[in-house]
C-alpha cells in the first residue's frame, strides 16, 4: 500500500479509528468489564496507538483518539 493516501482513504481510516474510540468509551464507562471486553479494549487501544502515529493526518482532530487511549489504559 502506498504511503500517499487520498482524502477518501484518510476519511475511512479516521472513521475506523472513531469506531474504536466509541467502543473504548462505551466499555470504559461500565462499572466492570469481562475478560473478553477488556481484551476488546486492549485491541482497540493498540489500533488507536498505531493510528495516531501515522503521518498522513491533515485536519482531523486526533484528541478523541488520544483520550480513548488514556481511558482504555485506565
Tens of pLDDT along the chain (74 residues)?
446 899 999 999 999 999 999 999 999 999 999 999 999 999 999 999 999 999 999 999 999 999 999 999 99
Cα angle 57-53-3, degrees, rounded to a multiple of 5: 60
Q: In this predicted structure, what is the pLDDT of residue 14? A: 98
Between CA 28 and CA 24 the distance in angstroms is 6
Q: In this predicted structure, what is the pLDDT of residue 3? A: 65
Q: In this predicted structure, what is the pLDDT of residue 4? A: 85
Q: In this predicted structure, what is the pLDDT of residue 1? A: 47
Amino acid at each position: 500500500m502506498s504511503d500517499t493516501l487520498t482524502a477518501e482513504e484518510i476519511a475511512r481510516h479516521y472513521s475506523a479509528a472513531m469506531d474504536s474510540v466509541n467502543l473504548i468509551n462505551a466499555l470504559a464507562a461500565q462499572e466492570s468489564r469481562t475478560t473478553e471486553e477488556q481484551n476488546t479494549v486492549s485491541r482497540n487501544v493498540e489500533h488507536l496507538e498505531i493510528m495516531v502515529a501515522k503521518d498522513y493526518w491533515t485536519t482531523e482532530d486526533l484528541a478523541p483518539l488520544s483520550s480513548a487511549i488514556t481511558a482504555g489504559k485506565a
